Amino acid sequence: MSRIDLDLAHAYRPNPKEDADYALLPLKMSFEDGGAYALLGPSGCGKTTMLNIMSGLLIPSQGSVTFDGRDMTRATPQQRNIAQVFQFPVIYDTMTVAENLAFPLRNRKVPAAQIKARVGQIAEMLEMSHQLDLRAANLSADQKQKISLGRGLVRPDVSAVLFDEPLTVIDPHLKWQLRRKLKQIHHELKLTLIYVTHDQVEALTFADHVVVMTRGKVVQMGTPDALFERPAHTFVGHFIGSPGMNFLPASQQGDSLLVAGMPLTRTNGRGLPQGELTLGIRPEYLALAPASADACLSATVRQVQDIGTYVLVSCEAMGHKLKARLAPDAAAPAVGDTVGLRVLDRHTCFYRNEELVA
């Protein structure tokens, strides 16, 4: 296994001039040895480009890739010793499950006894021990993709295992089980795993560190907790969470903070910079108060939805839409009620030019 350092940019077109010409804007980041990472972002944000640059399928148009300090920018996937799992199964239909799992080890001339032990271990982890002697051709698409996952994980000596949306073809129930399973496997095998997905639940359940990307830019790399509590960029606040963060225009003027044009405090204990800001507060932290409560924004309740595990209250304040998530047993307001919204709380974040400032 290796620590992987990227210091690069990539444009598919020659002579890139503006940001939009880059599939990956200049970035500098490290993947630590033995970590479980997810690359998360919407379609087209550059996840696969980054993964292919790490695996050696693509050479970056600028900069370098190093493994444990060694320059690997132009090394082939074989030289990098990387295992890759794709969206669709890559297996041999004519072989049995055991032969498929053993294949990457046989290729490396691993002794037969070690192959048997490792194949047994991986099959057990993926709950495929009872299928080892079955021909892959006779298995369902789900089961075939499990073999692909197993083949990716079977070699203990790889620099890293890269997964590109590996659960796309998996049935939703099994998907849920496999996400957890992969996390468990990571703890047991201690391999460096890098997992591409556009699904936040998949990223947050699997990874210890999530790299959030948008429009070719890495906007935050952090633990699932950090992405939730302190989104470094408004995109992270909006993209992570269900529903995403609420945003309101704010302005610090002297010692007075205006939110959506309303003066809410006359102190600046948070050390906010003067001038225009964007206030962000997650629906989980947006508390409702009586309409007359101090330091609250007055709002009208537009919708109350019982989602089962929580109640979602949609409000409108000064023309801005906000959502609050209440506990299922909390007293919910009625549609049309006027309520106070406590938008200032220790969880409130402030942004300028989309970047977190306080």
Ligand X SMILES: Nc1ncnc2c1ncn2[C@@H]1O[C@H](COP(=O)(O)OP(=O)(O)OP(=O)(O)O)[C@@H](O)[C@H]1O
Contacts with ligand X, residue ranges (CB under 6 A): 12, 23, 41, 43-49, 198
- What gap in Å lies between CA 115 and CA 110, rounded to an integer? 6
Q: How far is the CB of 242 from ligand X (least distance, A)?
A: 20
Q: How far is the CB of 10 from ligand X (least distance, A)?
A: 8
Residue 196 or 299 with smaller CB distance to ligand X: 196
Residue 10 or 146 with smaller CB distance to ligand X: 10
Contacts of 290 (CB under 8 A, 6+ apart): 339, 340
Residue 122 or 207 with smaller CB distance to ligand X: 207
Q: How far is the CB of 227 from ligand X (least distance, A)?
A: 17
- What gap in Å lies between CA 28 and CA 164, rounded to an integer? 21
Q: How far is the CB of 159 from ligand X (least distance, A)?
A: 21
* b/e code 240-262 from CB counts within 10 Å (16+ = b): bbeebbbbbebbbeeeebbbbeb
- Pair of tokens at residue 348: 């409130």
Cβ proximity of 67 and 159 under 8 Å: yes
Residue 51 or 122 with smaller CB distance to ligand X: 51
Residue 45 or 149 with smaller CB distance to ligand X: 45
Three-class DSSP labels, 182-212: HHHHHHHHCCCEEEEECCHHHHHHHCCEEEE
Residue 23 or 250 with smaller CB distance to ligand X: 23
Helix spans in the chain (H) = 47-55, 77-80, 97-107, 112-125, 141-153, 172-189, 200-206, 224-229, 234-239
Residue 23 or 105 with smaller CB distance to ligand X: 23
Q: How far is the CB of 204 from ligand X (least distance, A)?
A: 17
Residue 23 or 257 with smaller CB distance to ligand X: 23
Cβ proximity of 148 and 97 under 8 Å: no
Q: Could you tell me whether strands 193-197 and 209-214 are parallel, antiparallel, or unpaired per DSSP bridges?
A: unpaired
Q: What are phi and psi of 145, to 5 degrees?
A: -70, -30
Q: How far is the CB of 58 from ligand X (least distance, A)?
A: 8
Count of all residues that appear for the chain in the document: 358
Using CA of residue 275, residue 276, residue 282, residue 283, what is the dihedral sign?
positive
Q: How far is the CB of 19 from ligand X (least distance, A)?
A: 12
Q: What is the DSSP letter of 20?
A: G
- Pair of tokens at residue 213: 């990307």
